[in-house]
Structure 1
Amino acid sequence: MTAVAWMRGAAGAVVLSVVAFGAAGCSDGDGTPSGAVSSAASAVKSAGEAVSSAAAEAGKAAESAAAVAKDKLAEVKDGVDAKDQVSLGAVATDGDGYTTVPVTARNTDDATKSFAVQVEFKDESGNLVDTVVVTITDVAGKGTGQGTARSTHKLSGTVSAQTGTALRY
């Protein structure tokens, strides 16, 4: 479960508490909400702000990683599209809690080449949560090379990976 999903669930539980207090007619006798209802309403507001903040931070991290990946790919000179020569293995989590995926590059050229492969990590809704560029150098002509893409930060929930851009140079 992602932090955002957990926080949404917590916010929902607080909302149910507010509804329950409201249905019970809690007031201070003069028609104003009791302290318990006010506290619950404040908790709902705080939980909502926390969810928004967590989502914003995740979005900022993905945007930052995408900018770094774009810069790395821009450094490649005379690269040709090689997306069809790249495959990704199964997504896993390493011992440090980062998401990883094996990357295989198949060199269809006769000469030794290198590859720059952008790997996009997405959450269960298909939203981009991170992106990295893996460089696989000196792949022999007609040979294959291996690398591992590792997320720039710890990702939670169900994460998938796909090839964004792949350049052979």
Structure 2
Amino acid sequence: MTGLTAVRTGAVLTLVACLGAGLGGCSNGSTSSTPTSAVSKAASFASQGASALASATAEAGNKLNEVKGGINAKDAVTLGTPASASDGRMTVDLTAVNKASSTKSFAVQVNFTDSSGNLLDTTVVTVSDVAAGKSGKATAQSHRKLTGQVKTVVARALRY
């Protein structure tokens, strides 16, 4: 899935969720409810959600692009089981194994997806100064509250 497709899919999912929530709350007990207002609010929320996702994706790309001399180390990184933190954001522990003969650091992009694989959020974490032949640990955390069944995947990992 391309970044643009993921952003569009995320916007559509957010729009559907917000539309359902907005229409459920648009009646004030009288016969003059305004569904148009709910649709407008839903579109605004969807736009904000898509904007936040696009911003997180761009930030992750920028952080990885700053790594000089990094080599692909996706196969050296494993993720634990995602869990919800007390503030509703998702976290996942990761382990990076340094297979090099000298101390290295890792920059790891972790994507948070729904059960269908649609991108919900992304972040980059650094595992610094992992000794040769050893492993280092870090925790990735989503930028915002995520609900439902959230999965995680290593999108990119660089060893440098």
Report the 3-state secondary structure (helix = DSSP H, G, I; strand = E; otherwise coil) of the residue aligned with 2:87: coil
Q: Contact 2:18 / 2:46 at 8 angstroms: preserved in 1? A: no
Q: Is the 8 A contact 1:61 1:129 kept in 2?
A: no
Give the structure 2 partner of residue 120 of structure 1: 111
The alignment's C-alpha RMSD in Å is 2.5
**TM-score normalized by the length of structure 2:** 0.80
Q: Deviation per CA, 1:63-121: give whole Å up to 9, x if none.
A: 11111111111111100000111111111111222211111111111211110000111
Tell me which of 46, 62, 66 is aligned to 2:37.
46
**Contact residue 107 and residue 157 of structure 2 kept, 8 A:** yes
Q: Does 1:8 align with 2:22?
A: no
Structure-1 residue corresponding to 2:62:
71
Out of 130-139 and 117-126, give the one that drifted further: 117-126
> When you count strand as a share of all residues, which structure comes out higher?
2
Contact 1:3–1:156 (Cα < 8 Å) also in 2: no
> Which structure would you say has the larger Rg?
1
Poorly superposed stretches of 4+, deviation over 3 Å: 2-15
2:155 to 136, 139, 164: 164
Return the offset for 1:125.
Answer: 3.8
1:110 to 101, 108, 131: 101
> Amino acid of the residue matched to residue 123 of structure 2?
V
Change (3 A) 1:81 1:58: same
Aligned residues: 146
Any unmatched runs of 5+ in structure 2?
1-12
> Larger deviation: 100-109 or 46-55?
46-55
Contact 2:89 2:146 in 1 (8 A): yes
Offset at residue 157 of structure 1 (A): 2.4
